[in-house]
Amino acid sequence: MTPTEIVAYIGAAAWLPQIATWIYRRVVQPIVTIVPDKYAEVGFTSYGPIFNMRMAFSVENKDIIIDGFELLLQHSDGDTYTLRWAGLKETFSEITDASGNRQVIERDQTPIALKIGTESLIEKFVRFQEPRYHETDRPVFSSLIAHFNFLKRSNPENYVSQALSSKELFSVLETRQKAFLWKPGHYQITLRLSSPKKFKLTQSQFDFELTSIDTDRLKENLNNLEIELKDIIKSNLPDFKSETINWNWANVNVQKSDTA
């Protein structure tokens, strides 16, 4: 072997670690693990069906960007609903002084994408809502706004009372009330993530129970839908003071599914 050939072999060998790294990055997929908190919030407001839960995200092998996050909720009777992430909240610090006063520094954001790195664990409070609710609510609510603006221009003295008794308002209320989906029984949660690149997801199924007491309290929120909507219209009256609205929530225990 000539000196030139030896130098060529040494040069080629120097590239082997880099080539191996390139192959590894292309072949090996990220493995994502999501660990939910023990408890979650189930609700129903003017935003529709809601499921809120604190979660910890981790990934092995390499970093990943998540551009979609959905919950598939299946009731024991077979009914299935899909909720999509609608908000993320992250707590940066929590300080309690000598008097017991607590100061929490948080950041709230609308989710577009979430980067999960291999070097650290990410904790987020994730708010889920039903896309189908917003798709059906948007057109009827837009009709109410258009009708309200028409009444305001054409009858500026009585437009509030006319809007409160309009069919457009009751159409919004009917649409929202029909969207109530919670009922007593067992629910299975299936986590569904999407990413621009292939990945694997572990621990994707969890369970929770809703009692009849839970659902009865949540149904009381249906009355708040009318109060809130009418208060928005009445706010155009001078010296109007809105009512305080208290939304009921159900706190449920989330457990890993036996079938996961």
Residue 112 and residue 63: Cα distance in Å, rounded?
17
Rounded to two decimals, what is the model's pTM?
A: 0.83
DSSP 8-class letter at 84: E
Report domain extents, the chain: 30-130+181-222+246-256
| Phi, psi (deg, nearest 5) at residue 26 | -80, -30
Q: Using the structure block, give the residue that is written with the tokens 């929770």.
A: 208
130: which residues sit within 8 A by CB, 6+ positions away? 48, 49, 81, 82, 83, 84, 179, 181
DSSP 8-class letter at 146: H
pLDDT in tens, the chain (260 residues): 665 555 455 555 555 455 445 445 555 899 999 999 999 999 999 999 999 999 999 999 999 999 999 999 999 999 999 999 999 987 755 666 566 666 556 677 888 999 999 988 999 999 999 999 999 999 999 999 999 999 999 999 999 999 999 999 999 999 999 999 999 999 999 999 999 999 999 888 999 999 999 999 999 999 999 999 999 999 999 988 888 899 999 999 999 887 55
Q: Which CATH class is domain 30-130+181-222+246-256?
A: mainly beta
| Cα radius of gyration rounded to whole Å, the chain | 26
pLDDT on residue 120? 87
Structure tokens at 25: 């990055």
Q: Using the structure block, give the residue that is written with the tokens 């929490």.
A: 104
Residue 189 CB neighbour total at 10 angstroms: 23
Structure tokens at 254: 């989330």
pLDDT on residue 6? 53
Helical residues (DSSP H) of 36-191, grouped into ranges: 131-154, 159-164, 167-178
Residue 43 CB neighbour total at 10 angstroms: 19
Q: Are the C-beta atoms of residues 124 and 135 closer than 8 Å to each other?
A: no
pLDDT on residue 158? 93
